Chains A and B, each alone.
Chain A
């Protein structure tokens, strides 16, 4: 069967993780609707809202490096390439 959920699909990917995150979010502005778009437009579930304080958790290890978040919330998400040689490694492409 072909896969359906993002979680299982991310399992098909090979990563070489960077030590530090290549993404940061302006937490103060995160409550604004337009910034919260990153929660649902990200194809890799990088962004998760923390239940207790409503802040944004960044699972940068999931990132497939499309950069959609940067376009969806300009100025509030600082997405840049992970360091050379790290990040996702597509084998099909």
Chain B
């Protein structure tokens, strides 16, 4: 295959890359999908919930075919204090009636990704695994191919789509991002898959049949640092982990596994994983630089998708793989247009960014553009407020023979003493601006 030329090379068989390859193959365009893992999916992981609206358009039969774990019927947002938990718990039966179960499914990526890449292959994409793209081949400023290991081989194409993932070396080489990432813009998550009996999971999480939980945790469980913990229910295991910005870990001298273990010891978590057996440990970076720090998305003969483009909605919505799939589709549609015009210049490929701007992908990133900065400049938010909330609720519900009116007054006095009303209102306003 070496030294041959195809129309399009896609680097990386994750959700973005496989979506792009699938759309191109369906349009009859010659596409080579290169994956550095020995098998597809063996380098990939996320929390995680896969939102399947884009997948639904690509493969309408996905619900019957894809390796899915559980669909999300319960969402929890939890503030953790030292010995307490204050949570918003939404549990519903309404998605049972939804034909596609609200498009929200917990999946395991080493199982899902091979299935999805297989669909691209069935459609006619050439999939090659165990091939790591080490650099782009650039001629007169135009990307014309890639160089790979092992073997230092060269593959040529009219256009290269990078679906390389968070490391995004190719984006750097193409001159679309400058310098290394800010440690405060990148989260490193450590994760464990913990095996438990199906019936134990269903009892413990109040689930029936194929229902599942997506839980997000903030505050003391992460030593009050900027980041989130998560608990997701698979069929017969839990996906549990913690993600904190690298900047926070450096300042607080914390190791990702130390944070994860601290989280697992919290009373809100340890009862959920009790008796479980760790069957896999993993770690991965999440690009959270958002709208304002995203790299250039296109160049002559080159497009950037998914995590490589920083297309992650790191707000409380915590979306990534659906943005990745959408970007893969838009990149492929752009290439289809470029093929028609036989023009792979950046002028033609700029259509890709337009498509992203017009879609939920960049609209959502734009909406939450201030979030990362907000938490980085207001560290007291996740450090102090969960603790305060737990303390005040603890006081409020503490039983005594004192009249309730007196207790109430005291709780409010304590609150005002800890955080002056004006400070609290300003904080709420800032949080609203960053998150809503």
Contacts and interface: CB of A to CB of B under 8 A. Distances in A.
Nearest to A9: B281
Given A12-B280, A90-B44, A43 B257 contact: yes
B129 A2 contact: no
Contact of B167 (A81, A82, A90): A81
A92 B279 contact: yes
Interface of B: 36-39, 41-46, 108-113, 129-132, 134, 148-150, 166-167, 169, 179-181, 183, 186, 188, 190, 192-194, 237, 239, 246, 249-250, 253-257, 261, 264, 273, 275-285
A57 interface: no
B108 to A, nearest CB: 5
A72 interface: yes
A91 B45 CA distance: 10
Interface majority SS (helix, strand, loop, mixed), chain A: loop
B280 to A, nearest CB: 4
Chain A: interface size category: 35 or more
Interface of A: 1-6, 8-10, 12-13, 16, 37, 40-44, 64-68, 70-72, 74-75, 80-93
B188 A43 contact: yes
Contacts of B246: 41, 68, 71-72
A93 B39 CA distance: 12
Contacts of B255: 6, 40-43
A12 B279 contact: yes
B277 A2 contact: yes
B111 A3 contact: no
A88 B43 CA distance: 7
Contacts of B38: 16, 85-86, 89
A39 to B, nearest CB: 9
Contacts of A40: 249, 253-255
B170 to A, nearest CB: 11
Nearest to B194: A2
A37 B192 contact: no
Contacts of B169: 80
